[in-house]
Amino acid sequence: MASVMAALVLIAACAAPAMGVPRFRPRTAGATPGPTMACDTWTGAALCSVLPGGVTELVLNKYGGGAMQIPNHYLTGQFSMDMKLPAGNSGGTATTFYLLDSITPTNKDPRHSEVDIEFFGNTTGNPMLFATNIFCGGFQNLAQFRLPFDPAAAYHNYGFRWNTRQIVWLVDGQPIRVLNRTPRGPWPLLAMKPQSSIWATPWTVIKPDFTFGPLKVFTKNFVAQGCPALKTQVMAAAMVPRCAGAWNAQLTPVQLAAYARLRKATLVVDYGWDKA
How far is the C-alpha of 228 from the C-alpha of 112, rounded, in Å?
19
Query: How many separate helices (H) and strands (E) can be counted in the chain?
Result: 2, 16
- Active-site hit among 82, 101, 116, 118: 118
Burial of 75 (0-12, 13-18, 19+ CB in 10 A): buried
114 is catalytic: yes
User: Cα 166–168–173 angle (5° rounding)?
Assistant: 145
Cα 4 from Cα 189, distance rounded (Å): 10
Active site residue 57: no
Active-site residue identified among 114, 115, 171, 181: 114
Pairing assessment for the beta strands 93-100 and 193-200 based on DSSP bridges? antiparallel
The phi, psi pair for 247, rounded to 5°, reads -70, -10
- AA letter at 58: L
What residues are labeled active site? 114, 118
